Amino acid sequence: MRTAFGVETVRTAERELMARLPEGALMQRAAAGLAAACAELLGRVYGKRVVLLVGGGDNGGDALYAGARLARRGAGVTAVLLAPERAHEGGLKALRAAGGRVSAAAERDIAGADLVLDGIVGIGGKGGLRPAAAQLMGAVRESGALVVAVDLPSGVEADTGEVLGDAVRADATVTFGTYKPGLLIDPARERAGAVRLIDIGLGLPAVPELEALQYADVAALLPVPGASSDKYRRGVVGIAAGSARYPGAAVLAVAGALRSGAGAVRYVGPAADAVIARFPEALVHAGPPSRAGRVQAWVVGPGLGDDAHGREQLRDVLAADVPVLVDADGLRLADPEVVRARTAPTLLTPHAGEAAALLGVERSEVEAGRLAAVRRLAAEYRAAVLLKGATTLVAGPEGGPVRVNPTGTSWLATAGSGDVLAGLAGALLAAGLTAVDAGSVGAYLHGLAARLAAQGAPVGAQDVAAAIPAAWRDVRG
Ligand SMILES: NC(=O)C1=CN([C@@H]2O[C@H](COP(=O)(O)OP(=O)(O)OC[C@H]3O[C@@H](n4cnc5c(N)ncnc54)[C@H](OP(=O)(O)O)[C@@H]3O)[C@@H](O)[C@H]2O)[C@@H](O)CC1
Ligand SMILES: [K+]
């Protein structure tokens, strides 16, 4: 599991550790890791030109000490001081002693750089880059130099992943002690490039603020049928989706569910002919969901429409005493009081627009603060919530760490891909995963399936569904 802690927690851990260590030791650990990472990226250090962008805090101090280490190994190191009167004194002295110098012509030095080290601002930053730093970014881009961010790409919000103005775009980020939420959540994540974590010995709490499943975590959570499993033990998932107008949503949700380890898939609704034509293995029913027979979980909402029939289906499913995944039209039609009053697990799967409607705020507010939005939704609806996006987030109703999905891909932004995810996560619910596990494992497999199906070219939702078994095999190694 990859875990992230917010700035306040990092500061507390840092204070405790610093009290036990000689002065400056922590910064030396950070700088040593940073210099080693830069050396690795450069291949050969001797003769390379390195420019340090140095702000007025300890982030700049890290850059200066790392620059001194690179200078000692034969690099030509130049520091651009963005707040000259506040630049880290010890770091500056170390750099000069190692043969580095302070730049007198920033843009010219940047133009000739092989590597630019971004030490403008780290966890002490608020808001986007200030004008002096923002102005240099054009030169950095044009130089073609490798850009390595110290701790975080400057200009991004460490705790939320927001990017409120100009921000550095790094090829790699070397971060200290722990991942910060901004390194795992878009849009900031995308600015960080490849992230490397340097252990500096911080003592952190047991429960992180954010966590990202890795291959091994997903593999451990995947349901695998045992020798004695019949279809009911493997989980039967019911799908109440589709309408005369949107039969395709039903087909795609069933497609996702059938590839996701369910023992059987029951479909209820007006798209039964379309479903059975494509998937003869599906069990189809015409009557209300409550009469369809035994299921271990329901998926309701994709393409449901908002006529009386759809509303009736939704009411019926929400009254069932099994886990329920509510998606798409289901989210629009659901009575918040009914959702809150449910005792079996509920998983809501909105995109930003649907989340905004559920919270009664503007979509832009959700997009700018996705972490806060998913937490608030889970608390207000007393449900697990999967907020779709470039980095999908999953929060549980009891608080605790928010899961962030690391396999997102822009190829998933295609019509119907949400229907596939609903079926997939619903099947995992039926197999007995908790709502948070079903949502986060579902999002993980869904993203991986899209990547495998896409291979760098556009894909449709059916291709994503068809690639779920490949994603499953990939995870299980
Ligand atoms: N924690 C740890 O365990 C360890 C931490 N270490 C390192 O220390 C770093 C944190 O250092 P820090 O506390 O000195 O803050 P830092 O990020 O350098 O900012 C300094 C000043 O910048 C300013 N400023 C604010 N916003 C800005 C903006 N948008 N653009 C420009 N400037 C802006 C603001 O001053 P202001 O101008 O607002 O008065 C603020 O006070 C951390 O990221 C890591 O690299 C490691 O060495 C060892 C282990
Ligand atoms: K930085």
* 227 has a pLDDT exceeding 70: no
Residue of 322, 288, 319, 298 lying closest to 427 (CA atoms) = 298
Q: How is domain 215-476 classified at the architecture level of CATH? A: 3-Layer(aba) Sandwich (3.40)
Query: How far apart are the C-alpha atoms of 436 and 425, rounded to whole Å?
Result: 10
CATH fold match for the domains 2-211 and 215-476: no
Question: Which of 147-156, 228-237, 467-476 has the weakest average pLDDT?
Answer: 228-237
Question: pLDDT confidence of 63, banded at 50, 70, 90?
Answer: very high
Using most ligand atoms within 8 A of CB, pick from 151, 156, 174 the residue to mutate for ligand 1.
151
Say which residues have a Cβ less than 8 Å from residue 266's Cβ, sequence separation at least 6.
236, 237, 238, 239, 282, 283, 284, 285, 292, 293, 295
Alpha helix stretches (DSSP H) within 180-335: 188-192, 215-221, 231-234, 247-258, 272-278, 308-318, 329-333
* End-to-end CA, the chain: 17
9, 16, 18, 123: which to mutate for ligand 1, most atoms within 8 A of CB? 123
Q: Is 196 exposed, middle or buried (0-12, 13-18, 19+ CB in 10 A)?
A: middle
Mean pLDDT of 203-229: 90
pLDDT tens for 333-382 read: 999 999 999 999 999 999 999 999 999 999 999 988 899 999 999 999 99
Q: Is 303 annotated as a binding residue?
A: yes
Determine if residue 273 is labeled as part of a ligand binding site. Answer: no
| pLDDT the model gives residue 286 | 84
- Alpha-carbon distance of 461 to 150, in angstroms, equals 39
Q: Whose CA is nearest to atom 23 of ligand 1?
A: 125
Place of tokens 């550790």: 17
How far does the centroid of ligand 2 lie from the alpha carbon of residue 136, in Å?
A: 14
The DSSP H or E segment spanning 157 is none
Confidence grade of residue 234 (pLDDT, cut at 50, 70, 90): confident
How confident is the model at residue 228, as a pLDDT?
67
Which residues on neighbouring strands pair with residue 174, listed in sequence order? 150, 196
pLDDT of residue 8: 97
Tell me the ligand closest to 169's alpha carbon. 2
Q: Closest ligand 1 atom to the C-alpha of 126?
A: 26
Kindly report, residue by residue over 157-197, the tens digit of the pLDDT.
Answer: 999 999 999 999 999 999 999 999 999 998 899 999 999 99
Q: Where are the domains of the chain?
A: 2-211, 215-476
93 is in an annotated binding site: no
pLDDT at residue 229 greater than cutoff 90: no
Higher-confidence residue: 458 or 255? 255
ipTM above 0.85, yes or no: yes
CA 118 to ligand 2 centroid distance, Å: 5
Q: What is the pLDDT of residues 106-126, one digit of tens each?
A: 999 999 999 999 999 999 999
Per residue in 410-427, pLDDT (tens digit) is 878 888 999 999 999 999
Rounded mean pLDDT, 86-96 = 98
The whole-number average pLDDT for the span 93-105 is 98
CA 343 – CA 347 distance, rounded (Å): 12
Superfamily of domain 2-211: YjeF N-terminal domain (3.40.50.10260)
Question: The tokens 């030791």 sit on which residue?
Answer: 25
Q: What is the pLDDT of residues 277-319, one digit of tens each?
A: 999 999 999 889 999 999 999 999 999 998 899 999 999 999 9
What's the gap in Å between 91 CA and the centre of ligand 1?
14
How confident is residue 224, by pLDDT bands cut at 50, 70 and 90?
confident
Query: Mean pLDDT across the chain, nearest whole number?
Result: 95
